[in-house]
Structures are given as structure tokens and as C-alpha cells.
Amino acid sequence: MKTIQGNMIGSGLRFAIIASRFNELITSKLIEGAKDALTRHDVRHQDIDVFWAPGAWEQPVVAKEIAMSGKYDAIITLGAVIRGDTTHHEYVAGEAAKGLAHVGLEHRIPVAFGIITCDNLEQALARSGSKAGNKGADAALAALETANLLREVRNDRGADA
């Protein structure tokens, strides 16, 4: 039995981070967590590009253009959708998740979902670098591992051909 898995070495990989300007207080902390996680795993600063989208809703179309460029090994999406007095947050978060998943599948590129969904600002702060860790770092590590896993799958498939 063969086991194939991605490693956590980022040298030679390029990453696009799409950040939501909406709730920028939270998003900026998620970005710092993602950048820190990537550089700790040998990704060079010049191999990380940050793209600012107005909000989570706009991220899928930005991700699609980035994926179509062929310049990146993975895309990391970051932002915060915080519950308000209406159900608006459900539509935004759900459609963003669906759109980003579609981009990854259609373009065969990892699209890590680091858009946190929270009931309030306190939860968002906790998940962006305090008590609950930094979900931006978690998304970056998922993107790194998946990019390396896909590289292994593609190399293995090529060896079997």
C-alpha cells in the first residue's frame, strides 16, 4: 500500500492571499497569521502576493482570475463574516464558500477557506490571533500542504503513465 501526502515545505511555491477589506481589523490579523505561517515553512516573502477584495462576496471572482493566471500554487482566502441582526451573513458566507470551492475544483488549485464566520466581534478576535489561535495561519498551512499533495499526486500519476 502506498501512502501519498503533502509535506510542509514551501520553498519554490507561490501563494495568493485574497483578503476582505470588510472587517479589516480582523482580516489584517488573519493576513499576518497566514504570512507568518508561510514564511516559517520556507516560503519567501516575494512569493506571497496579497489581493484586497471589498468583501467575502467578491472573493470568488477574484480567486477565479488569480487561478486562471497560472502564477500561483495555492490561493488563501481571508476575511470575517460576522452575524448581524438579519440573515444577510448566511448568504454572504454560504455563497463565498460555494464560489471558492468551485474555483478550486474547476482550476485544480487549492483554495483554502480562511473566511471566519462568527456570531460577534469577540469571537472574530479570538479566532484571529488570541484564544482560539489564528485561522489565517491554519488556512495558510492547509493551502501549503494541499499544494504539495497535488504536486505529489501529479508526479505519481506521471510516473505511472
Just list the catalytic residues: 88
Give the Cβ contact number of residue 103 at 10 Å. Answer: 22
Q: Which residues contact 134 (CB under 8 A, 6 or more apart)?
A: 29, 30, 32, 33, 37, 127, 128
Instruction: Please give the grid coordinates belonging to residue 77.
Output: 482566502
Return left, alpha or beta for 142; rule: phi > 0 is left, psi -120 to 50 is alpha, else beta: alpha
